Structure 1
Amino acid sequence: MSKPAVTYLLLTVALLLLLAFSRAPHSHPARLPTRRLAPIHHQPFDPLLSQLEQEAEEQGLLDRQAIQERLDSALAEGDHRDENLGKIGFLEEFFSEQGRLNVTERLTYLFPLLDRYPKDDVVSFRELEIWNQRQAMDRLVYITDRRMKVHDKDGDEEITLREFLSGIPQKNLDITNMERKTVNWWKEQFVNADGDGNGSLNKTEFNHFLHPEDSREPKIERWMLKEKMREMDRDKDGKISLEEFRDRSNGININYPSFDKEPSDHNLSIAEKQFAELDVNQDGYLSAEELKPISIHLWPGELWHATLFTKYLMHAADDDKDGKLTLEEMLNHHHAFYTTVMEESYSDDDEYEDYHPHDELR
């Protein structure tokens, strides 16, 4: 592949990613605010695109001004001398001279990597889910590694709270105030992630700190549940009423979206049914303990979205509805596997959320 094609390709990928990140969400009155130290990210199905994205990030191309400057330079007549953008030779096998991804070649290459448990020439839901979750985990580790390099000022491979908050003035580090809108929210999360209690976070602990939604550490799960209770409990009585649950149920992912059946009930009645099922002692309120069964849906993380993406792909490509994908089915629906973002659309009459793909590098 010529250097101009590589340059244009990488800039195009960066622009697609930037547009996906900046896409305004559909407005919804019941949407809950969330605070993440690392943004929710739709992990590409194809690890090759993950490599492209990482190249774009590391070269500062997820910034509008940077993209425009590099694009202007790359497209200037006779100016194709950007050596950094040319150092991605692994693209040549799967990209054409025009910078187009050969999706048939890629899916044919990836299929045997998915078909492993067992190797039977079809990809099951579980095999596809394992693949997507692995891509998500690789992304989380990559983000953590990058953040470690930024915050580990003394190079000891441990992150202290001071190192993490080094850009915040000392006067703002009042640890006596645990209000959610202060840096002490981060301090509380830092303490929860500090498993050995030594006052600093190693790589594993820092990963829990950055991505608490994907942590299965009991202490972090309890804290996340307390945070969600705080958001939902409007009258601050320490429990969730039916009204509070119903008002918030549209803004949290209590149910996996269903792609294989038509909605049968209105959201309000669904919320009431869910509330009744969770209200074990039937006192008309939900405690933190009673919310535990749906905890994974109260703060969906990257792994949750990987499973959701798996459901979407199976729905889109499983033509004979046997719960498995053949290579032919994947090739027939290649557009579903090469999507930048699943756009969420919501209808008050829907029991589930519908996702529409935006094609990547077509």
Structure 2
Amino acid sequence: MLRSLFMALAVSTVFAGLPTNEETKRMMDHLSDAEHFKNEHHNKQFDHDAFLGEDQAKTFDQLPPEESKRRLGIIVDKIDTDKDGFINPVELKDWIRYTQRRYIDEDVERHWKQHNPDNEEAIKWETYKKNVYGFMDEMDDKEMTAPNSEAYTFAALMKRDRRRWHYADGDQNDALNRTEFAAFLHPEDHGQMRPVVVLETLEDIDKDKDGKISLEEYIGDMYQPEAGDEEEPDWVKQERDQFTGYRDTDKNGYMDENEVRSWIAPPEFDHAEAEARHLVFEADADADEKLSKAEVLHKYDLFVGSQATDFGEALARHDEF
């Protein structure tokens, strides 16, 4: 049961990061599940995930600072493709795209093998459904329709997966080849999946299920006041202004599907480029718009982080270092 629960949640959850700064928004590119800014504080885990890829970020978090810096130095040399001794914004952007692509490719490969051990050309919906939701066959039909029950939650997840499967199924044969399966797992990375990403985002935030997002739902999705809080942080006030001034374009007090699309998938916006600019801004001590290895290592906690723990040997990708 627990295994099925993990599988259902892991496969069903679309990336919908909730950064509050204007440049990152909810992202169509999968850089990180971490929010870029939490409350008023910059969340460096977002930068770690974007710079390293989520897989390596977890490894670096378990390294002592000395080993973390050593590995970061090797990465800097890889990023500096023209070998001029500096990382420019274009090189950094290309690296971020590379780590993003690597994460997605490896994640798709892992799930493809899990759900298709015989390496057939396609995975049928019924096969996927049995693998992920087969445990639901033992659940009571009455419980499946009872709001807030575990069975009801799983039924909703399966319905959501079914819809996403349909969007990913380009030839509509109810089976996904590897390319289509990649779109199913990572809809944020495939343009034809944008409508379902928008729908899922809308459904996630629309708590009263009226088909639109109110100001209260918008704020509540990214900020939950703690006991004793007397006043909202300034960034929350700024987000209220963003909602009323820019998100709610027809000024009716709500965001509809089209307004949500403009919010999470703005045209001509390059998230990798925005993250590269952000990292350069944070680490560029001499303001020459490029980073030396010394500048990167000086800000190693921004790029890779470290909990200074003694977990022992590095985990994955030890052969790269």
TM-score range, shorter chain: 0.5 to 0.7
Question: What does residue 3 of structure 2 align with?
Answer: none
2:172 pairs with 1:223:
no
Q: Residue 124 of structure 1 aligns with which residue?
A: 88
Question: 1:111: which partner in 2?
Answer: 76
Flag the 1:230–1:321 CA change in 2: closer, same or farther, 3 A.
same
CA contact (8 A) 2:202 2:213 kept: yes
Question: How far apart, in 2, do the equivalents of 1:145 and 1:201 lie?
Answer: 14
Indicate yes or no: 2:260 matched with 1:285: no
Change (3 A) 1:103 1:244: closer
Q: Indicate the residue corresponding to 2:171 in structure 1.
A: 196
Cα distance in 2 for partners of 1:110, 1:290 equals 39
Structure label with greater radius of gyration: 1
Partner of 1:17: none
Compare relative contact order (CA 8 Å, sep 6+) and give the higher one, 1 or 2.
Answer: 2
Distance change >3 Å, CA 275–CA 249, structure 1 → 2 = farther
Does 2:319 align with 1:358? no
SS in 2 for 1:184: helix
Q: Is the 8 A contact 1:249 1:271 kept in 2?
A: no
Query: CA shift at 1:44, angstroms?
Result: 8.0
Cα RMSD, aligned residues only: 4.1
What is the SS of the residue equivalent to 1:166?
helix
State the alpha-carbon separation in 2 of the partners of residues 265 and 44 from structure 1. Answer: 26
Shift, 1:204, TM fit:
1.8
Q: 1:273 to 1:147 in 2, by over 3 A?
A: closer
> Superposed, which structure 2 residues align to 1:1-362 within 5 Å?
40=33, 43=49, 45=51, 50=56, 101=67, 103-104=69-70, 106-116=71-81, 120-167=84-131, 168-169=134-135, 171=137, 181-182=154-155, 183-212=158-187, 214-218=188-192, 220-250=193-223, 265-296=234-265, 310=276, 313-339=279-305, 358=307
Q: Which deviations, in whole Å up to 9, do the C-alpha atoms of 1:153-207 show, x marking residues without a partner?
A: 4421422222223331473799x99x76412221111111112222221222212
Cα pair distance change 1:358/1:137, threshold 3 Å: farther
CA contact (8 A) 1:335 1:359 kept: no
Contact 2:124 2:176 in 1 (8 A): yes
Quote how far apart the aligned CAs of 1:288 are.
0.8
Q: Report the number of matched residues.
A: 238
Unaligned runs of 5+ in 1: 1-38, 54-99, 252-263, 298-302, 340-356
Change beyond 3 A, Cα 1:329–1:215: same
> Residue 130 of structure 2: SS of its match in structure 1?
coil
Deviation of 1:45 after TM superposition, in Å, equals 4.6
Contact 2:72 2:304 in 1 (8 A): no
Note if contact 2:49-2:57 (Cα within 8 Å) is conserved in structure 1: no
Aligned AA (2:221): R
Aligned to 2:26: none
- Give the residue type in structure 2 aligned to 1:320: D
* Percent of paired sites with the same residue: 25
- Deviation of residue 112 (structure 1)? 4.4
Kindly tell me: are residues 291 and 40 of structure 1, through their superposed partners in 2, closer, same or farther at Cα, counting changes over 3 Å? closer
In structure 2, distance between residues paired with 1:191 and 1:140 = 20
Tell me by how many angstroms 1:142 deviates: 0.8
Cα distance between partner residues in 2 of 1:317 and 1:359: 21
Q: Name the TM-score, length of structure 1 as normaliser.
A: 0.53
- The verdict on how the C-alpha distance between 1:135 and 1:332 changes in structure 2, with shifts beyond 3 A counting, is same
> Bigger shift: 274-283 or 183-192?
274-283
- Give 3-state SS (helix, strand or coil) of 1:282's partner: coil
| Superposed displacement of residue 287, structure 1 | 1.2
Provide structure 2 residue ranges, at least 5 long, that are not aligned to the other structure: 1-31, 35-47, 60-65, 146-151, 225-232, 313-321
